[in-house]
Amino acid sequence: MTDNTLIAQSADPRFSALPGRPGKIIAIHLSYASRADQRGRRPAHPSYFFKPSSSVAPSGGTIERPAGTELLAFEGEVALVIGAAARRVPLADAWSHVAWVTAGNDFGLYDLRSNDKGSNVRSKGGDGFTPIGRALIDARTVDPAALRLRTWVNGELRQDDTTAGLIFPLAQLVADLSQHFTLEPGDVILTGTPAGSSVVVPGDVVEVEVDAPGAPGAPSSGRLVTTVTQGEHGFDDAVGSLPAVDDVQRAEAWGSRAAAGLEPEAEPFRLTAALRDKLHRVPVAGLSAQLRKRGLNNVTVDGVRPMHPEAKVVGTARTLRFVPNREDLFTSHGGGYNAQKRVFDAVGEGEVIVIEARGEEGSGTLGDILALRAQARRAAGIVTDGGVRDYDAVAAVGIPVYTKGAHPAVLGRKHVPWEADVAVGCGGTTVQPGDVIVGDRDGVIVIPPALVEEVVDAALAQEDEDAWIAEQVTAGHPVDGLFPMNAEWRQRYEAWRASR
């Protein structure tokens, strides 16, 4: 058990709220459900980054926004202070290694975030970027699932959440990190921020408080206060990269495009019921002809055949990419809740799962369980340029599937499930998430969303024309001059159309 009396307070004013200078500060990227929903992505597992202890600052201090930057954002967080060394501790014992709880502010400079590519070394490691304090709460006196976190900017409440809203409980973070290295007394874990984080400017005052309203005495960290100032110094491109921002960084720093003063993003393309009905009425061959007229020849998924030739497939693409099997990579990416399982669990109604398997037929890329999951999710179909195992069982599920053929081997013989929702190469053509996929007995075609309405209307018109030509040929007319139509036949056709 932790003995909270063993470590004396630090004499360095930067660490006045802590037992001493922390050997490590570990921060989590994304941990609150409210923040994950705001960002539109929910991680399956926690991921982390380090912050230098030189970034720690006490309550009442300041933080400089460097010259030439605009996106300094606050992140109120619950900070855990380790009291007893933890190495490979089980989840049930993890909380006993936490001595204290307090407030933290994980400031970040989004102007440098893209340069750091996830490490956050520069974007979150600056002097004063980790205020901690004011007071320590004895971890033994509180329920880790019942802590409250609040953040104010200039007296206005901006964040208000509890640790009940965490995706990953606090004890899990301790247990997880202890799998990889020893957590030592005095180390600090910053446990993530809820929704409400946003940009602050010079002159703003940010206050963060962690408390436990339901615990005896309602212990509190007090308000951790930081004032934002304007720095005089910028960055020198002779020794490192310069700050750079775009609308993506602005939206994430402010919390939303609206808060950043940006125009709303265009609504993603969706197949309307009327458009879906038109696509069901047009053969793939007709769509192919119209795309060819518009200069698009490489839009067919070659080499795949339907398991249900009588079924038409119409939907938007949800993509999955496999890479060639390498044993160490399959160990790290092939097991657990891998990319393949995540796609089949997340596919939406009316979507088509499109799998890049590089045309490799030497293993299955799905089986009956995943086919059942896709059907339960009301997916429109599955297209893979690899094999299918449990072929008869998959066929019996009934969901339309296009494949290179049957193979009994499991995925790991040839493939590693690598990533989802990216551009893939399937059957020799590129498929982007959201592309329109149409399949029938002739094969599968990919239509760019921007062209689909124009193409399907032209194809329907061509179908009417071809039907009329077929009637004329059936009546005994030769095809010369009729197919394609010369001026005389075109005039007859237009007159027929006008009379309908």
Distances in Å between the Cα of 441 and the Cα atoms of 55, 161, 391, 467 are: 63, 54, 18, 19
Residue environment code for 380-406, b if the CB has 16+ CB neighbours within 10 A, otherwise e: bbbbbbbbbbbbeebbebebbbbbbeb
389 is in an annotated binding site: yes
- Contact of 177 with 26, CB cutoff 8 Å: yes
63 is in an annotated binding site: no
Q: Which two tokens stand for residue 369?
A: 């369980």
Cα–Cα dist 86/485, whole Å:
82
Map residue 275 onto helix, strand or coil: helix
- The phi, psi pair for 334, rounded to 5°, reads -90, -25
> 328 burial class (0-12, 13-18, 19+ CB within 10 angstroms)?
exposed
Side-chain-facing half-sphere of 111: CA atoms under 13 Å: 17
CA dihedral over 460, 464, 465, 469, signed as positive or negative = positive
Side-chain-facing half-sphere of 453: CA atoms under 13 Å: 8
Cα–Cα dist 100/3, whole Å:
10
Most distant CA pair in the chain: distance in Å? 103
281 is in an annotated binding site: no
Owner of token pair 């793939």: 284
What's the alpha-carbon Rg for the chain, to the nearest Å? Answer: 30
Distances in Å between the Cα of 243 and the Cα atoms of 72, 130, 481 are: 12, 20, 66
370 is in an annotated binding site: yes
Distances in Å between the Cα of 244 and the Cα atoms of 48, 234, 252, 256, 365 are: 23, 12, 14, 19, 41
Q: Where are the beta strands (DSSP E) in 240-366?
A: 300-301, 305-306, 313-324, 351-356
Q: In the 8-state DSSP scheme, what is residue 422? A: S
Distances in Å between the Cα of 102 and the Cα atoms of 3, 7, 151, 206 are: 17, 16, 13, 16
CA neighbor of 469 nearest in space, from 448, 496, 443, 450: 496
| Amino acid in the structure at residue 258 | A
Q: Which two tokens stand for residue 40?
A: 């539109």
CA 100, distance to chain mean position in Å, is 33
Annotated binding residues = 367-370, 389-390
Which residues are annotated as part of the binding site for Mg(2+)?
390
User: Per the annotation, where are the binding residues for substrate?
Assistant: 367-370, 389
